[in-house]
Structures are given as structure tokens and as C-alpha cells.
Amino acid sequence: MMDLFQKCWDYTLAKEAMEAGIYPYFHALQTGQDTVVTMEGRRTIMIGSNNYLGLTSDPRVIDAAVEATKKYGSGCSGSRFLNGTLDLHLELEKQLADFLHKEACITFSTGFQSNLGIISAIAGRNDLIFCDKENHASIYDACRLSYATMIRYRHNDMEDLERVLKEAPDNKGKLIVTDGVFSMGGEICNLPEIVRLAKKYGARVMVDDAHGLGVLGEHGRGTAEYFGLEDEVDIIMGTFSKSLASLGGFMAAKEEIVSYVKHNSRPFIFSASIPPANAAAALRALNILKEEPERVRKVNDIAEYMRGLLRKKGIPLRETKVPIIPIMTYDNIRTFVICKELLNEGVYVNPVISPAVPQGQSMIRTSYTSTHTHELMDEAAEIFEKVFSRV
């Protein structure tokens, strides 16, 4: 008789990595998220967070969260649909919609849940979802939850996208979903061509801009602003856990679309609303982004500075135009060893191994913050050179 838990007894990979001293996950911080942190008792340069605008440690954001907790309490004790809507939620949604040049906005309790809630409400059994093969895992799970037919196209391959669109029947609803900035490889989607193909084949466009908001566009409005296509994207999804220094997510779109999702999205209706502290922190971070758009330039400048240092030192990097720099390590075990050595020397990075990437394409994902300094990048680059020369 098969035991349901047999898969658990058979799973030994994590334990083996721990015993080998190269387990790279769940390292504990003793300080807040910043450019330099204390991790497991050691000073560590942080180039593995998504704190793109450096606002998680900004006193203004922290004060907003504290004051909201004092005023509203620690939680909302219910869903937005019933007793869990605060005036704070409504103000955050209004300001986000205005900022993104959309008619309306709805917020969700997490970024992952945002994609689940949007896609599962918008798409159904009679619809088709065209999904980039390297889209975020939350998009894949959302497609399954929607019961729509998911059709994958090759990563950022517009010829392949047109091929599958052309083959689709006219009597099906069509949604093209893409990451704006792909979180692992750091590529920017080909939004102009996606928009053109959507118009040609009668599809709608949704952009997951979790890693584009605060990073792309003159004002940090993301991928659509970067390409001058804000009016052409039907749905913009984003998160608060990256540039906006909090927790949660959102969808911005036309009023009727937002209203439909509000009243039909099970992940939205049956989840507790964002705690007051998180809503207030995201709102203050959004206002700082509006007041200080130079932070967008700064985070991209510091990433370009680091790219230059890594190139000079012969570190094998993948070229990108955003504050995500993948460094190629190719082999899974080698990736773990390099991450361990970097941490021992005082730099934290993220390992990305198969099956998250194809076999033989393992990498280290590094990401940067507008408050990083050239001095910190110089120090980190020296450590990279030291570790790569011996591993």
C-alpha cells in the first residue's frame, strides 16, 4: 500500500546539501533589509534582495507603518469583501491607479495571490492564455486555477507567439500574460510586439510588472511607461514587496475590469486584507517614488557601475538593462559552492539552479538598490574576483 508521505521520506537533497556544508537557503538576518546587513552574525553586503529603491529601511516608510498600526491595530480580521476594507486601502488603490494612469486599482494580500486572483477571475474554461515559458510561477498556478487552456510560447520569441495566436480559434477569449522584467534572467519583455500581435489577433494584454515598477520608465511606472505603451496594456499587475518596501500586490485596469475581479475573484474574496502597517508602508513608499523619481535613475546607474566592474574582472555575466545581473555558474553544485564562499567572504547572492533554469545554465542572481554606493560595489566585486579565482 502506497504511503502518501513516501515522497517526503525519499526527499534527501536538502539534507545532503546541509551535510556537505553548501546548503544556500534560509540564512537568517539579525538586522533589517538594507545594503549592508548582519546575516548569521556577520557583516554582509546585500546584493540579493528586491529592495530596488532602498525604501525598506527609510524612516518615513517605517514611521508610516508604525502610525498605521497605532491607529488601526495589527490586522483587519476579515476580507476586503466584508469587514476588512479600510479607508487606507481605498487611498492606496486610488493613488496607484492615478500613478499608473489607469481608471481603477484593486489590492491583494500578496504578489503571488495577485496573479492567482486576477487570472483565475478574468479567464475561464472557454478562454486561452498565452504564457511566456519563463513567466513567474504564480502565473502558471493562476492559469491552472482559471481552468482556461494555457498555451506556452518560447521565451520572448515573438514569432512563436504569433504562431500560436494564429492557430487559436476566433470564438475563444484570448489573454497574453508576460512578465515585464523577467525576474531570473533580467530580460525586458518585447512589449511593443506583444501589443501589436494582441491587436492583430484580438487578444488582451496583462503585464506582471513586479520587477518593472520603480525600475523602468522615467517616473518608475514600469515596462509600459518604458515603451510608451501605458494606454495599450489592459492589465498591470505589481507587488509591494520590492520597490514599494512592503507586502501585498495590486491590479490596475479599467473600472469595469477591476469591478468584475472584485466581485468574482475567489483569492480576493476569501482572503484577509492587507494589514494596516503594510498598506501604509506601500502608500508612503509610492509617494516617495513620486517625490524622488531620481531613485529610478540611481538604481540603474549603480547596476551599470557593477556590470562594468564585473566585466573588467572577467566574471561571466549575462548582459541586462535592469538592476538584475545574472552571473553564470552553469553547474548546480558549483553554484552552491560559490554562494557559500561569497557568503563566507561577506556577500549575499541568490542561487538559481535547475529545474528553475535549464540544466547546465545555473546562475547567481544579483540585484541592486538605489542606496548602494560605489565603495560597496568595489568591495563586492573584489570578493567576486577572489571567489571565482579559486572555485
Q: What residues act catalytically?
A: 183, 211, 242
State the cell numbers at 26.
Answer: 534560509
- What is the enclosing helix (H) or strand (E) of 165? helix 158-167
Give the number of other Cβ atoms within 10 Å of residue 130's Cβ. Answer: 25
Long-range contacts of 161-169 (CB under 8 A, 24+ apart): 161/130, 161/193, 161/194, 161/197, 162/197, 162/200, 162/201, 164/130, 165/130, 165/197, 165/200, 165/201, 165/203, 166/201, 168/128, 168/201
State the cell numbers at 276.
Answer: 494596516
Report whether 209 contacts 237 (CB < 8 A). yes
Cα distances from 104 to residues 84, 111, 211, 337, in angstroms, run 19, 18, 21, 47
Report whether 246 contacts 123 (CB < 8 A). no
Site of grid cell 552553469: 330
Q: 335 in the Ramachandran plot: left (φ > 0), alpha (ψ -120 to 50) or beta? A: alpha
Question: How far is the C-alpha of 236 from the C-alpha of 230, rounded, in Å?
Answer: 9
